[in-house]
Structure 1
Amino acid sequence: MAIEHTAETLKSVIKAYDVRGVVGETIDEDFVRVAGAAFAHILRKEGETRIAVGHDMRPSSPSLSEAFAEGAASQGLDVTLLGLTSTDELYFVAGTQRCAGAMFTASHNPAQYNGIKLCRAGATPVSTDTGLGEIARMILEGVPDFGGEPGVVDKHDALDEYAAYLRELVPVPTGRTLVVAVDAANGMAGMTVPAVLGKLDIDIRPLYFELDGTFPNHEANPLDPKNLVDLQKFTVEQGADIGLAFDGDADRCFVVDERGEAVSPSAITALIATRTLAQHPGATIIHNLITSRAVPEIIEEHGGTAVRTRVGHSYIKAQMAQHSALFGGEHSAHYYFSEFFNADSGLVAALHVLAALAEQDGPLSALMQEYDRYAASGEINSEVADQAAATQRVVDAFADRAETVDTLDGVTVQLKDSKAWFNVRASNTEPLLRLNAEAPTKEEVDALTSEILAIIRA
């Protein structure tokens, strides 16, 4: 039975910058076939002629990607099926081949979910304002008929080209054979990590490399600390120099040091920023407003220009283009590179960290000390019925202690006479408020977090 959507229910599936839902409940082959036709209609009107379609290892991904391809071809677009692909591999194809792209993945979400990440030629992201809203309208109202010949559907395996491109982008010096523990979480990194790192002076110790979209070992969401536990233990057991954890579609990379301690994505952002500035003095670096204040401090100390932006890849990529920035980092371990079409890649970030580690003799924990200056709460979610009212309660409670309050994304409060700050922002899709706080010490951030959560949850 076909899934019927209203304008209201469609909002839960077509989000700000991707499509995501439960297979069989909110998305199915009929739905993505129409979505493919709608996207192709938009592209054809803009003069585009081809789209590359890739998919992850989820059980539903092959059939959904083929249905999407059928829809796109029905509107006259040629389609290249890439087969099993990481999201950043799709961006590579869209960037180097100058074609649009569609990636079937639900990233870190559980197995019952799937979705689509869309981009235009050059890996330019598609958001609500730049195509997703129009696709939603056509799903509800119908896609205009196309009277021409359907497009041609062919297949191409881009893995080796992608791997070679990344190795050339960030050379890792020889001489120090790094032992690298990698948790692929049964996701696409199980395919891309051997292809990219396998030809380097690296001893890979694999964990959960079998492609399995049912995620039999743990969720492919390394942002949640419980999903790092296996890698932390494995890294120490293997005597590895570093541990890498990837999400399901391998566009994010998390790092643990030789002791099994998690390394903050903000510290990784600062490390890659300093490497970028060493090669390109005075460059502009993007960071979102949830990253540590250490990030802009370090960028400026190394002669760069730090630009602060909202959370979310479409915002980061837009700011990358607007400011001609060379690198951008987020607290969620998305890292963006101008040399990679302003797109994010977990493996490009990993190569930077591996290169930095191989260039010196010390352990990763010592290397990262200068980039980790403050204590952070991490992102804490609270379910609230009225997000705006809860946010206002927090703002009112800190009115006398706030040095500044800004509303770039949610509310960010900088406290007086302190390097402590916090951000409260609402989820776009769930009745949640997300809290991030930072202070000079763990005791200070713990106290600040407890106080704010008590107000939010009152």
Structure 2
Amino acid sequence: MTTNQEKGAGCHPAIKTYDIRGRTGTEVTADLAYGTGAAFAHLLQASEIVVGYDMRPSSLGLAEAFAEGVRSRGADVLWTGLTATDVVYFASGTLNLPAAMITASHNPASDNGIKLNRAGAGPVAHGSGLEKIHSLLHTGLPDRPAGSRTGTTTEIDLQQDYTACLRGQVDLGGLRPLRIVVDAGNGMGGLTWPPLLEGLPVETVELYFDLDGTFPHHDANPMDPANLRDLQKAVLDHQADLGFAFDGDGDRCFVVDELGRPVPPCALLALLARQHLTAQPGGTIVHDLLTSHATAEAIREHGGTAVRSRVGHAFVKQQMQATGAILGGEASGHYYFGRFWHADSGPLAALHTLAAVGTQPRPVSELLAPFTRYATSGEINIPADDPQATVRQLARAFPDADLLDGLTVVDGPGRWFNLRASNVDPVARLTIEAHTDAEVDDQRNRVLSLLATAHN
């Protein structure tokens, strides 16, 4: 293993805004994992750090390198082994310890990465510590005094406690018999999901529950409609009540209704908000600024307070902590729970969805129909060598725009668009909502025309 100083030269392209993620073997290496572990332990001056990893072929080696870096700074490692990201959040929260998860989440099989948390599952992202780790990787860590102790490793198994925690947070009494299809995408949901259903009147059709980080069937990214096709077909073939899809590390949840149609994450957030506000009247719900106006409207209609956030788990969690929110969500399918240390959990979102669906007689499509009020473009990627410059170009045409996260222009309820620079790709991402598909098309053409004019 090379020294921190040798590993630290130059910038690291794998260090993103919210986590560390990139191509395995070139951008994400054992040296980077070792250095990050050492820098993380040094930054937090922690005595113990939880370490887990997912099913990707490179994850065990990267986790071992990260743990070695932690131990090199005198901190002990609590080794959860092969697990899901939300289990690591649970460990960080329940043990009140910093934690690291080796995963590239929904990225392709060629990638890997590291998600970092402070004690209590608090995020470590740019602005909350990740930039300091980046700097330490560049400059190198200070030498430790001669004779300083090296940390130890202790294996821990929190799977049963995690299962009990999630089941204890959802009232599943009175659940009617349900048939569901679950696509684990060969990811960690295949490990964490089955124990959560024990004793419930739920028949499960399992798709791709074998843990396989090469993703032989499809990428574990349910945000891509192509990766939902097998789930949609299975829901129809088995006449299921609904279907769930988890991403690679199990912290996101997508739903397909009984008609085989993908449910917009914004609509599911509205349903979960109604459910939470029934149990905790007057609560605050945080949503990212790409969330449909229909969701905020539903939150207010059910007596809650809707609070906007920048896009990204670190910002949503910080906003939830600041406002004491009971629930949070993003248009990307992340759902955050106040009673789960404001962290996101795909299985916990799925359990809440089962409770909402299974304690009333209507099908999912009818239950969610009131929360789908507007037309949307989805995410439109606009290639750009300098995405930030593209956003600035459009901002000149809208001097009064909202600049909370990129550029947001609101023309009224259910009429808005946002243009943001991607944190990971050379694109600007455009999202449009309007009352009709024709209005969405008109707005897209308007924005693209303005950008073309500005470019010329």
1:98 is displaced (CA, Å) by 0.9
Cα displacement string for residues 377-421 of structure 1 (whole angstroms, at most 9, x for unaligned residues):
111111123434533554556x5xx9x6211111111126x6311
In structure 1, the residue corresponding to 2:254 is in which secondary structure? strand
Cα displacement string for residues 195-237 of structure 1 (whole angstroms, at most 9, x for unaligned residues):
2224422111100111000011111111111111111111111
- Checking the alignment, whether the CA contact within 8 Å between 1:380 and 1:436 is kept in structure 2 is yes
- Checking the alignment, whether the CA contact within 8 Å between 1:76 and 1:146 is kept in structure 2 is no
Alpha carbons of structure 1 residues 134 and 419: separation in structure 2 relative to 1, 3 Å: closer
- Checking the alignment, whether the CA contact within 8 Å between 2:54 and 2:249 is kept in structure 1 is yes
Cα displacement string for residues 150-191 of structure 1 (whole angstroms, at most 9, x for unaligned residues):
112011121121111101111223451111100111100111
Distance in 2 between residues matched to 1:189 and 1:23, nearest whole Å: 22
- Residue in 1 that maps onto 2:303: 303
- Checking the alignment, whether the CA contact within 8 Å between 1:105 and 1:115 is kept in structure 2 is yes
1:420 aligns with 2:415: yes
In structure 2, the residue corresponding to 1:122 is in which secondary structure? helix
- Residue in 1 that maps onto 2:325: 325
- Residue in 2 that maps onto 1:33: 34
- Residue in 2 that maps onto 1:445: 440
- Checking the alignment, whether the CA contact within 8 Å between 1:74 and 1:146 is kept in structure 2 is no
Distance in 2 between residues matched to 1:180 and 1:23, nearest whole Å: 35
Q: Kindly report which structure 2 residues correspond to 1:71-150, keeping only aligned pairs within 5 A, or say none.
A: 71-147=69-145, 148-150=148-150
1:377 aligns with 2:416: no
Partner AA of 1:24 in structure 2: G
- Residue in 2 that maps onto 1:433: 428
1:166 aligns with 2:161: no
Partner AA of 2:415 in structure 1: A
Partner AA of 1:111 in structure 2: A
- Residue in 2 that maps onto 1:336: 336
Q: Kindly report which structure 2 residues correspond to 1:188-199, keeping only aligned pairs within 5 A, or say none.
A: 188-199=188-199
- In percent, how many aligned pairs have the same letter? 49
Partner AA of 1:412 in structure 2: T
Cα displacement string for residues 276-321 of structure 1 (whole angstroms, at most 9, x for unaligned residues):
1111111111011100001111111111111111000100010011
Alpha carbons of structure 1 residues 143 and 265: separation in structure 2 relative to 1, 3 Å: same
Distance in 2 between residues matched to 1:197 and 1:367, nearest whole Å: 22
Distance in 1 between residues matched to 2:137 and 2:384, nearest whole Å: 32
Moved more, 166-175 or 75-84: 166-175
Alpha carbons of structure 1 residues 89 and 199: separation in structure 2 relative to 1, 3 Å: farther
Distance in 2 between residues matched to 1:387 and 1:69, nearest whole Å: 36
Moved more, 146-155 or 359-368: 146-155
Q: Kindly report which structure 2 residues correspond to 1:180-195, keeping only aligned pairs within 5 A, or say none.
A: 180-195=180-195
Distance in 1 between residues matched to 2:91 and 2:44, nearest whole Å: 17
In structure 1, the residue corresponding to 2:96 is in which secondary structure? coil
Distance in 2 between residues matched to 1:281 and 1:176, nearest whole Å: 25
In structure 2, the residue corresponding to 1:434 is in which secondary structure? strand
> How high is the TM-score relative to the length of structure 1?
0.94
Q: What is the RMSD of the two structures over their aligned residues, measured on CA atoms?
A: 1.9
Distance in 2 between residues matched to 1:393 and 1:366, nearest whole Å: 42
Partner AA of 2:69 in structure 1: G
- Residue in 2 that maps onto 1:293: 293
Partner AA of 1:448 in structure 2: Q
1:346 aligns with 2:346: yes
Distance in 2 between residues matched to 1:38 and 1:299, nearest whole Å: 41
1:65 is displaced (CA, Å) by 0.3
**Any unmatched runs of 5+ in structure 1?**
none
In structure 2, the residue corresponding to 1:168 is in which secondary structure? helix
Distance in 1 between residues matched to 2:260 and 2:280, nearest whole Å: 32
Partner AA of 1:134 in structure 2: K
1:374 is displaced (CA, Å) by 1.0
Distance in 1 between residues matched to 2:93 and 2:236, nearest whole Å: 38
Cα displacement string for residues 334-376 of structure 1 (whole angstroms, at most 9, x for unaligned residues):
1111100010111111111110111111111011111111111
> How high is the TM-score relative to the length of structure 2?
0.94
Aligned length: 448
1:5 is displaced (CA, Å) by 6.0
In structure 1, the residue corresponding to 2:432 is in which secondary structure? strand
Partner AA of 2:14 in structure 1: V
- Checking the alignment, whether the CA contact within 8 Å between 1:384 and 1:457 is kept in structure 2 is no
Distance in 1 between residues matched to 2:86 and 2:368, nearest whole Å: 26
Q: Kindly report which structure 2 residues correspond to 1:389-408, keeping only aligned pairs within 5 A, or say none.
A: 389-395=389-395, 405-408=401-404
